[in-house]
Structure 1
Amino acid sequence: MSIEWVNRAVDGLRAWGRERNVEVDVDEVRLLCDYASDYLEVNELGDFRPGTFEELLLEIYPRKVIAPPESAPETVAAARTLVEFLLDTGEIGGKTAARMRATIDEIEPEMPRALADTSKFGMAKSLFSAIGPDSLELDAAGGRAEGETDGPDCDCPGCAPLPPVRLAPPEEVARAAREVPLLADAHRVVTWLAEGRRTLTLRRSLRAADARAIRDGLGVRRPEAAWRLALELGLAHSGPPAVEAAEGFRDLAGRGDEEVLDLWTGALELLIEGLVPLTGERVVDDGMAQIHDLLYRLQSPVPVDALADYLRELADGRPVGRLDEALNGLVYAGTVQRTEDGLALTAHALWGLREVYAGMGMDAPLAPDLAEGDASGLIAGLIGDGPADEAAERDIAEWLSRRTPEQAAAELLAAVAGAPAEVRGVAVTIVDRLGREAAPVVRTYLDDAELRPHAIHWLSSRGLEAPALTPDEVLWMSVDMLALALPAAEADPEGFAENIAASGPPPHLIEDMWRVEHPDVVEVLELLGNTLRDQAAAKAARKAAFKARSRGIR
């Protein structure tokens, strides 16, 4: 979690290296400072001690950083550079520097073994350490690494490349993070403990009386989890003798977006590492990395029953405990949300997980920004496994904002002339958002057989001069718009049935649809026959489908 003092230190290190013509591995030194800040209560350069390097290189790095044992010399060299920088800038004295050098000399032969010791790996590192360069270069056809021809494909989620994801804008993520109950409660707990000069147990846990007071008086649902998060994030010092808020501590409302994003990323990292227990069931807390990774990869809600089976598999025979408690803990932590279809990541959890993965050196790709492409790219991105409704709305609005109504209409309609109904329908629905300024472009498509009915409807709905729709064009347009709904109907038959019951075509219109020269008319009529709740309308659709098949329309 990058913070201000780390940024200042890195800037100073760069200048120091230039002045002395010293090659500095800035990224490695930043990582040392970041982890020292996050886990060892180092709040400025002068807080480094010989023991800091021992914990960093032999405990923190093996647990968190995915790095081969042979990379240890690079990290040790960066630590030695940091010591010289601390000495030259007056942050430490000569005797302290000598002790640091001696400590690093002792660490050097031990660090490769520590990096290779799987018993030291944290949960997230254990899950992802098997992902090497080869496993991230799977070919699309066979799912194998490049050059691999023998052996079964691996079905392990952690061994597959991460899917491209679409992220909410950072300002939206920061706004959502400020509202995460666990993160907000962590700040409230620190304020209460520090103002009351409260002390902790020997294990740096809350005293039972204080936990009750925090829960009953402040309304904090999980006092110990909130306190543990605050402590691990460095929001407070645990004493002795009493708890003190960290220097510059302030509530979430008083923090800038960048700082809130850093806090949220750090919180998420601690959660998936299991360092902030949310339940009394260790199986659940230890499985946080796998649960979040599963949701990240699927990019869709997971039914609760399926998640329960997944947890039991992780537990390997051990009792899982109450799943409701675990799910409530995840909702409280702000990483998941309950939907009608099950459990899914929140938009800010998706953002934070990608930050965590990228920080671990993993390839965490972003899906292309649809607003930056042409009309064909926008439509293709919105079809199939495209973005969720909220993201799609952002994409469309941003794409349109970069064009005049005339330009947008021209691009969209040109891109779908002669295209299938689903593609054409997406373009038409976007054009329908445009104002009267687009009329000259829309009029040019009155001569296009497939787009003419849509153009007439667009013009007439805005009170503009337009030819009347013929009965055949009304039928054709009805089939065309229903064809647009075919993929959604297949994915959610019940939802489609509800919608079509409220706004579906009347039986007398359905009866004549078989006459329409449309490539999807049979499929549309069969769908109506299987889903319409009005028995008369459903019967009319089935009869019309039979007639259309008899005509050979497919």
Structure 2
Amino acid sequence: MANSGDGGIFDLGELRNLIDELGNVPGEEREHMLAELSGGDAGDDRPGSPADVLSFPPVELADPSRLAAAVPDVPLVRDAVRLASWAGTREVTPEGLLPPRDADRAIAELGIERGRLRLVWIVAVNTGLLRVTRAGTSPGGGLPPEPLDFWDGVVMDVLDRTEEGLTGSAVVDEHLTEMLATIYATTDGITYGALVEGMLQAHEIACQARPGEMRRLREILPGELDAALGLLRYCGLFEQEDDAVRLSPLGVWAVRQDLLREGHDAPLLSEVAEFAELSAVELVEAMLSGRAPSSAPTLWVERRAAEDAARELIKVAASGTAGQRGVIGTVLEEMGPEAEPAVREALAEPAMWRHAAVWLGVRDLDAPALTEEDGTWLAVDTLATLLYIPDVQEAMGEFEALEPGEELLRLIEDVSRSPHPDAVAVLDLLGARHPDPATAKAARKAAMKSRSR
């Protein structure tokens, strides 16, 4: 499956299956099946934009000077500096660690918790606060002149320890990255109870945990999570006020750095604020051209009443191209029932009524029934988004469902009979660009049939 990053591009194999099944199900179920035709399962598989790339709400970072000044006050950093100074020049084990006797002395003299000493030592060594060779330790250079770069290294050291049992909880360590991303996306924080439930659900789904294991985890996870959050506060990543857990300002900065390294869309508020002031058509064009990040529409919608925002977008989509409808469909998919009046008005628009029917149906709202031919029309509209992607060859290569086979050949034949205005253009595109000779030939043949009709 692929997504240009500019709008909705959907799994064509699933489209094919749904179209095949439309004639065999009651009309009341058809709308739910067709929801997937409208982009409910959009993804992104292009190089640099893998299927698990996520888009996060824009954040506003604290002032860099304030962040830099806060780094030395992080308890973990403070202890790493103290441990490096205390260690001075002394022998180490073959693994480069303090011998047990010296470790006991460090715990007693510096007041570092025994379970945290190894993490403090690793941070001190990996960040250059302390040099370790086979001959032993020697002082490092102290805190560097760029505290935020140093802080980034500290957090990477912390997160790298999850495979060794960072928090003491196997479940928290397994899902720590997801937890950080979730809290990053909730600027107001998340309640402790919701965090426990979210982690349980993530574990049950990702690890296919059985009922017996889940019962056991429900009993022990709250205590384990409490201890883990204590460690993460010690590491400078979290703040906790009453029942709300949130990232600290340094935590927001560090998690964003990690998300960017992983290729996720994690913009600053200043980077997307300009897009919130655009008209609907300007926003859509910015998305299609790749100038606007995929998080820009979220802020654009937030600055408007939902119904008004939906109505502006639908007006563009009703008279626009399939590429514009792809972008707009992705934005509408994120909007709730408050947009219903505007979407219902779209039922009167020839180019939008099928999309509107799917949007309504998937939300269990009254909607017109769609036929198999309507499903094919939606499939063509989805394929037609390829016509508006700058690097179409790359995008096509990432469409798993465009792999050659009988399924794709049947879809090509259906496209040739579709009244969609872009049907011939889609077939021409496949005929000219599809890498499989048999598929390309079938598309060219179907295009000729379509023209003759």
TM-score norm. by structure 2 comes to 0.44
Q: Scaled by the length of structure 1, what TM-score is found?
A: 0.37
Larger radius of gyration: 1
